């Protein structure tokens, strides 16, 4: 099985040497295989967001190694890592540029390598292509190509972020509680779109979620992070047989 991400002996300590010292990631080892759809769960402060941020490059690992698509990216910038990785943030405002139009946002997400290109960013026929893609979301966004994204609703923005994250055909998709800021109905819709897209594009995905039901329902693998360590890592049938009660029990342990 080809591996997309390999995390070795990852350590992260916040505020070292002070009274507030917190060892957030304690020697984390994780291998993500091609095609995995992993739900990551854990208490607040368990370290799951820190883990995701360290993988994405927003935070630097204090020790350990991160190999992404066979490249050691431990000390590389967010922008460099984005060649193989896309991310959807928790806050719908984070994943899109509000002052730019839907079209411009899509162009930005299309290629993560030609960002300083001196060619026109908008070519004939592009609009139709993007409109076709937006129709998949079923949110009517295809009629708002030239609308600034800040005028869209949270759900529309998050659905757009999700589509944008898939445009560059990433080897790894990171979803950081991407439905947490939405109302239950929209959250449910965005989750459905997520699942459909992941399946359609065969995306390798890591999804942080606080919703046990989503964690159990979606994906082929489940990871529980507790106290800076991976306490549970199940996949396949073993995961399918889990239920909410069992999961809660493990939380207590």
Partner 1 sequence: MLISSLGQGLLWAPLAIGVFITFRILNIPDLTTEGSFPFGAAVAVSLMLKGQSAIVVSLAGFIAGCLAGLVTGILDTKLHIPSLLAGILTMTGLYSINMHIMGKSNVPLLNEKVLTEYLPVGWSLDIQTIVLGVIVTGIVVTLLYLMFKTRLGLSLMATGNNKDMSAANGINTDGMIIFGYMISNGFIALSGALIAQSNGYADIGMGIGTIVIGLASVLVGEIFLRGHNILTRLIAMIVGAIVYRLLLTVAMELGFPPDDLKILSAVILVIVICVPIIQNRIRTKRQLKKYLEQMEDNDDEGITGETSTESILSRD
Nearer to partner 1, 47 or 57 (CB): 57
Segment contacting partner 1 (CB under 8 A): 4-12, 106-114, 185-193, 232-240? 106-114
Among 129, 151, 240, 248, binds partner 1 (CB under 8 A): 151
Can residue 180 be called a binding residue for partner 1 (CB under 8 A)?
Answer: no
DSSP state of 170: -
Residue 84 or 221: the one with the smaller Cβ distance to partner 1 is 84
53: contact with partner 1 by CB under 8 A: no
Torsion of CA 163, 86, 172, 114, to 10 degrees: 100
> Contacts for 166-169 with beta carbons within 8 Å, 24 or more apart?
166/86, 166/197, 166/201, 166/203, 167/106, 167/109, 167/110, 167/133, 168/82, 168/86, 168/109, 168/110, 168/111, 168/112, 169/201
Q: Which stretch binds partner 1 (CB under 8 A): 19-27, 107-115, 206-214, 219-227?
A: 107-115
**Strand pairing class (37-41; 22-33):** unpaired
CB of 200 to partner 1, least distance (A): 21
State both tokens at 185: 């109905």
Contacting positions for partner 1 (CB under 8 A) = 56, 58, 77-79, 82-83, 86-87, 89, 93-100, 104, 107-109, 111-122, 148, 150-151, 164, 168
């Amino acid at each position: 099985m080809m591996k997309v991400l390999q995390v070795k002996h990852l350590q992260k300590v916040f505020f070292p040497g002070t009274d507030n010292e917190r060892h957030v990631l304690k020697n984390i080892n994780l291998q993500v295989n091609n095609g995995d759809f992993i739900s990551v769960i854990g208490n607040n402060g368990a370290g799951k967001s820190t883990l995701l941020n360290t993988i994405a490059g927003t935070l630097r690992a204090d020790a350990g190694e991160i190999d992404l698509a066979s490249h050691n990216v431990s000390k590389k910038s967010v922008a460099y890592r984005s060649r193989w990785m896309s991310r959807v943030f928790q806050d719908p405002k984070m994943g899109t540029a509000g002052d730019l139009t839907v079209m411009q946002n899509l162009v930005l997400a299309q290629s993560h390598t030609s960002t300083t290109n001196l060619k026109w960013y908008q070519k004939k026929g592009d609009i139709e292509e993007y409109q076709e893609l937006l129709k998949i979301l079923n949110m009517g966004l295809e009629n708002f190509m030239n609308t600034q994204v800040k005028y869209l609703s949270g759900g529309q923005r998050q659905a757009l972020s999700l589509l944008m994250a898939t445009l560059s055909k990433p080897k790894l998709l990171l979803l950081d509680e991407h439905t947490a800021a939405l109302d239950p109905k929209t959250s449910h819709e965005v989750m459905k779109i997520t699942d459909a897209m992941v399946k359609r594009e065969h995306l390798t995905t890591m999804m942080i979620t606080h919703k046990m039901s989503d964690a159990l329902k979606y994906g082929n693998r489940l990871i529980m992070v507790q106290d800076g360590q991976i306490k549970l890592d199940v996949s396949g049938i073993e995961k399918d047989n889990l239920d909410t009660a069992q999961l809660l029990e493990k939380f207590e342990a």
